Amino acid sequence: MSNSGSENSIKIADDIFEAEKERVYLELFQRTTNRALDMAEELQYVVDDYPPEQTEAMSDLLDLLRDIEPSSEVDASMKQGATYKQLAYISHLAKLDSVTQWATKEWYATAKAQGLTKRHAGHIIARLNEISQGTAEIEAYVRDAGTGE
């Protein structure tokens, strides 16, 4: 007597479960992204509790997610929360310590409250590095233009 029919049924059920799990993770990732972008807009109108430069910095960081592309396949970076090291590096790249003494702490709280994933944090880091590289190139161009080279 063969169990191949029941094994087939189990495999089909497992495949359906995995596909549904992937769909849910993609949906959660998109919801998190949308929530972070909504908060970026809302922070532009917060004036009572926080210094404007701090809310602007948080808004600008979250707004960097505007061009994040949804992945067709779920990977670990979309399932796991952003790490402290990633958030600290973002704070360093964005020079949050120079904004207000609480900006870095608020960044950690904001990222956690929004449920940013490793993928979100990685995207923000990549965008900040692109911006930094572009700024360095412009500064070099202006410096070289000023010296007549």
- pLDDT per residue as tens digits for the range 123-140: 999 999 999 888 777 777
Work out the mean pLDDT of the chain and round it to a whole number: 86
Q: What is the mean pLDDT of residues 84-94?
A: 96
Residue 144 has pLDDT above 80, yes or no: no
pLDDT attached to residue 84: 96
pLDDT at res. 44: 78
Decide if pLDDT at 91 tops 70: yes
Written as six digits, the tokens of 22 are: 């992937």
* Overall average pLDDT of the 30-56 stretch: 84
Report, as an integer, the average pLDDT of 55-70.
Answer: 91
Residue 76, Cβ density class (10 Å: 0-12 exposed, 13-18 middle, ≥19 buried): exposed
Does position 146 have pLDDT exceeding 80, yes or no?
Answer: no
The number of residues in the chain equals 149
Instruction: Please check the confidence at residue 20 and state whether its pLDDT lies above 90.
Output: no
Is pLDDT of 53 > 90?
Answer: no
What percent of the chain stands above pLDDT 90?
51
The gap from C-alpha 58 to its chain's centroid, in whole angstroms, comes to 12
Long-range contacts of 93-96 (CB under 8 A, 24+ apart): 93/125, 93/128, 93/129, 93/132, 94/57, 94/60, 94/61, 94/128, 96/57
Residues with Cβ within 8 Å of 44's Cβ and at least 6 positions away in sequence, in order, are: 55, 56, 59
Quick check: 149 pLDDT over 60?
no
The answer to whether 111 touches 64, Cβ cutoff 8 Å, is no
| Residue 115 pLDDT grade (very low, low, confident, very high; cuts 50, 70, 90) | very high
Max Cα-Cα span within the chain: 88
